Structure 1
């Protein structure tokens, strides 16, 4: 039980770190994401570097949530637990690609902007291309992959009753909305960084924060843990021994 309680606290802490990393990164990236000519401007590169640092924390914490909770949820359904781990790994990998694209803008700005060999128009075009890569990684990472991961974990929490079902329902609603929103953004219905996009993301934010606080303060339900003491459907069997 001590190990399970520790897993709950660690999972909750990682979820809070994902929110801190995502929000801080978005705020610090602001001038770069909204300015089309940042690469030839005198903008503050320190803010971008700090934003990248926080997004690295976000990527690590994403994986951390899955690794920390895996030993617990695998006993309920190993297939869904592995799916959640895989979705979080994918999300983290895509986020890292987005970080690299923005750091490349900073490097080009520092090395080439203002030099005799630099062509401002070309640099602006390259900068916009790198920003476009980040925009698409933001769509496929913290939208598609996040939506999938949220639905998998929320389903596990709902069916196992490891946390109150009201919290799990927030995850089911949030994961669905984020996934549908990603499709809408892909086809040009509205911008990712818009008021409507922010409102659509609120349920998944509420799910992660409420889940984190519950796990840190209360942990997993003891009665639910007793009911999943042995693996159920979806558990892998090797050489006749259940893992």
Structure 2
């Protein structure tokens, strides 16, 4: 397997991992995100810990896509390729902030909720504040940052013709839609986890899965400006 084929396969696997980990994390976080009294209740801490682990894997895979693809993408436009890597690092960092905020709710529940002098009202308020932080990181990480990063990568794929044109176009459409949707959510037009939010997320989901399958199954399309010697 030549270097470009290996890079394509690894990048494709990273994209698949991001999708699986993102969906798993959101599903596992449900008790703490949607139960205002979680911090003073019996809790479902193991489930939340598994959700946090899923998001840790997500953050690693997000960084992995940028780092893995950089040697290929820089041959087309090094500045934009570097921007994509930095954008993926920012996206991962925002995700980690969200993980810490959710785990902080669990820590407070374990350490303070059962104490004799615990103020339930104050604890609930703190818990809601930490969950609110996660909600904003969920908006700015897997929405704003993801939208911008998708646009950068789709642009590079389109210019370089490393993937079929329809895949690049799907990425451009998906990146723009998720970015616009994030703005709509920020201004309160609808909830992020809603029918409209889900509809806006479908194209970017389809882009990442389609690109991943293409990279794993066939690798990059032949391109005259990629020389194997540059990647060794």
Residue equivalent to 1:89: 89
Consecutive unaligned residues of structure 1, counting only runs of 5 or more, are 231-243
Answer yes or no: is 1:179 the counterpart of 2:188.
no
| Structure 1: 4+ residue segments shifted above 4 A | none
1:73-152 equivalent positions in 2, closer than 5 A: 73-152=73-152
- Report how far residue 46 of structure 1 moved: 0.4
CA distance in 2, matches of 1:54, 1:117: 35
Residue equivalent to 1:154: 154
- Report how far residue 43 of structure 1 moved: 2.2
Task: Please give the TM-score of this superposition, normalised by the length of structure 1.
Answer: 0.92
- Report how far residue 227 of structure 1 moved: 3.3
Residue equivalent to 2:68: 68
Determine if contact 1:31/1:38 at 8 Å carries over to the other structure: yes
CA distance in 2, matches of 1:162, 1:117: 62
Residue equivalent to 2:51: 51
Consecutive unaligned residues of structure 2, counting only runs of 5 or more, are none
* Backbone CA RMSD of aligned residues: 1.1
Determine if contact 1:75/1:229 at 8 Å carries over to the other structure: no
Question: How far does the alpha carbon of each residue in 1:64-83 deviate from its partner, in whole angstroms, 9 at most, with x for none?
Answer: 00000100010011111001
Task: Please give the TM-score of this superposition, normalised by the length of structure 2.
Answer: 0.96
Residue equivalent to 1:236: none
CA distance in 2, matches of 1:143, 1:93: 14
CA distance in 2, matches of 1:143, 1:201: 9
Question: How far does the alpha carbon of each residue in 1:15-39 deviate from its partner, in whole angstroms, 9 at most, with x for none?
Answer: 0000011000001001111111110
Give the number of aligned pairs: 228
Residue equivalent to 2:225: 227
SS at match of 1:109: helix
